[in-house]
Amino acid sequence: MSNRIEFDRRRFLQVTGLAALGGVLVGCGGAEPGGGVTVPTQPAPAGTFTEPATPLSGGLSILMWSHFVPAHDAWFDPWVRDWGSRVGVNVTVDHINYAELPARTQAEIQANQGHDVIMHIAPVPQYEPSMLDLTDVVTEADNRHGTQLDLCRRSSYNPTTRKFFAYSPAWVPDPGDYRRSLWAPVGLGEGPSTWDDLLRGGAEIKRSQNIQLGVGMSQEIDSNMAGRALLWSYGASVQDTAEQVVINSPGAVEAVDFMSRLYREAMTPEVFSWNAASNNQGLAAGQLSFILNSISAWRTSQETDPEVANDIFFTPALRGPADARAASHVMYNWIVPKYAANPDAAKEFLLHYTANLDVVAWQSRLYDFPAYPAVVPDLNKWLAVDPYGSQPPDKLALLENAVAWSTNVGYPGPSNTAEGEVFATFIIPNMFARAARGEATPQQAVADAEAKIRPIFDNWRARGLIGSGGG
């Protein structure tokens, strides 16, 4: 038994480390601003402070990504240190490129020492065996602010073990981003609303303007999310609500066939080797007509090239034959390792952060959305009239309803440990890529993906970490 446990641990660490291959950080945010700074049209929220339930002391070490909107980190570090000084805790913050976070996390798990709290930007259920259950944090946040969004709950809760392997106080929508000047000549000035629109318009733009669209099929986070959105739009998924593998379905085959046509008619081979920065850079440079991403590349363009920013617009999730649904572009997973030296301070910090989600949203320039909407009562007002100067001012208004077309990795089931491993090993974008390159038929590509996914589910099920779903 001990040999099997050690083998599983080594396998777990090897697998989760693969997530570092994606070059995740730069992908969703693009380059840092290099031009003038956008001055908001109104004051930032004042924020709030609640005395911790019990006295705190000692140190609190935080490991987190370098935010895709750099202004966030310029605000966050002194803000959290100020909170620490008020409650008697010495807070230190380490920011690293997100591509390095999985490897750093696994190294700390292996060493059984490191930071007290770590932030990831995608669900990390595969870390559950080494993390504290954060049910107490979620329960207290619910008591203070109302019920957590189901989207965030399903991205941080294991219904089999009834544990919160992470805490998800915030998330980020994943709309379509398009250059209006490229789509207007093909009769889609408001952008594509369906996957068929994307194929028809994207193919015509490539033929008439020699500019491709950008839906990646490489080992990085944006490709991972795009592939899932396309599967869901055809009524397909990796698992069902009972956490059973259902990838090998007619809908999945149709989705893979569609992606192959999209590639042949509207893209070029570079989409197979993109890092996560490529789609942002291509859109801003006018080399791509459409990408699936957050708003951060556009925010960067506001400061580096306002003319480009004014030409970038957004669409909700594209509709397919069965659905219109997108994964959350970023799903914050704050985790507290079992080795944490100061878990009480870590949990109080997370509650303080949650109470100030209005400041978080503001300082991220409306990139971060709250899991507790009541804490950010002015969010829809800000989206309707962007305080950071979008042209037109209501460019972000469509995100008011983003929660309706956003879902969790693992949908229609939870973000369980098996889905975490499937995500980290890029099985879904690899499936699409093999068919698009002509290495396999759509049917064979789906069958081969199923052959890789089933053992992953079998392994985690045997360990008692996934089950019948629900909850």
Q: In the predicted model, is pLDDT for residue 9 greater than 50?
A: no
Q: 238 CB contacts (<8 Å, ≥6 apart)?
A: 228, 231, 245, 246, 247, 410, 419, 422, 428, 453
Q: In the predicted model, is pLDDT for residue 316 greater than 50?
A: yes
Mean pLDDT (the chain) is: 91
Q: Quick check: helix, strand or coil at residue 36? A: coil
Indicate the DSSP class of residue 403.
G
Quick one: average pLDDT of 347-367? 98
Task: Work out the pLDDT band at 463, boundaries 50, 70, 90.
Answer: very high
Per-residue CA distances from 250 to 253, 324, 436 (Å):
5, 18, 17
Task: Work out the pLDDT band at 27, boundaries 50, 70, 90.
Answer: very low
Q: 348 CB contacts (<8 Å, ≥6 apart)?
A: 52, 53, 56, 87
Q: Pairing relation of β-strands 90-96 and 59-65?
A: parallel
46-75 b/e with 16+ CB inside 10 Å = b?
Answer: ebeeeebeeebeeebbbbbbbbbbebbbeb
Q: Are 339 and 108 in contact (CB under 8 A)?
A: yes
Tell me the pLDDT tens digit for each residue of 230-279: 999 999 999 999 999 999 999 999 999 999 999 999 999 999 999 877 88
State residue 7's pLDDT score. 29
Tell me the pLDDT tens digit for each residue of 261-270: 999 999 999 9
Model-level pTM? 0.90
Task: Work out the pLDDT band at 98, boundaries 50, 70, 90.
Answer: confident
Tell me the pLDDT tens digit for each residue of 172-197: 999 999 999 999 999 999 999 999 99
Q: In the predicted model, is pLDDT for residue 406 greater than 80?
A: yes
The helix-helix angle for 250-266 and 442-462 (nearest 10°) equals: 130
d(CA 19, CA 385): 37
What's the 3-state SS for 79-101? HHHHHHHHHCCEEEEEEECHHHH
CA dihedral 268, 273, 277, 281 (to 10 degrees): -30
Tell me the pLDDT tens digit for each residue of 137-156: 999 999 999 999 999 999 99
Task: Work out the pLDDT band at 113, boundaries 50, 70, 90.
Answer: very high
Query: H-type helices in 374-470, by residue range?
Result: 379-384, 417-424, 427-436, 442-462
Higher pLDDT: 96 or 277? It is 96
State residue 10's pLDDT score. 37
User: Lowest-confidence range among 13-27, 204-218, 283-297, 303-317?
Assistant: 13-27
Task: Work out the pLDDT band at 444, boundaries 50, 70, 90.
Answer: very high
Task: Work out the pLDDT band at 227, boundaries 50, 70, 90.
Answer: very high
State residue 300's pLDDT score. 86
CA 200 to chain CA centroid, Å, is 28
State residue 311's pLDDT score. 96
State residue 37's pLDDT score. 59
User: Lowest-confidence range among 26-30, 165-169, 431-435?
Assistant: 26-30
State residue 115's pLDDT score. 98
Q: Quick check: helix, strand or coil at residue 23? A: coil
Quick one: average pLDDT of 118-132? 95
Determine what percent of the chain is predicted with pLDDT higher than 70: 91
Task: Work out the pLDDT band at 434, boundaries 50, 70, 90.
Answer: very high
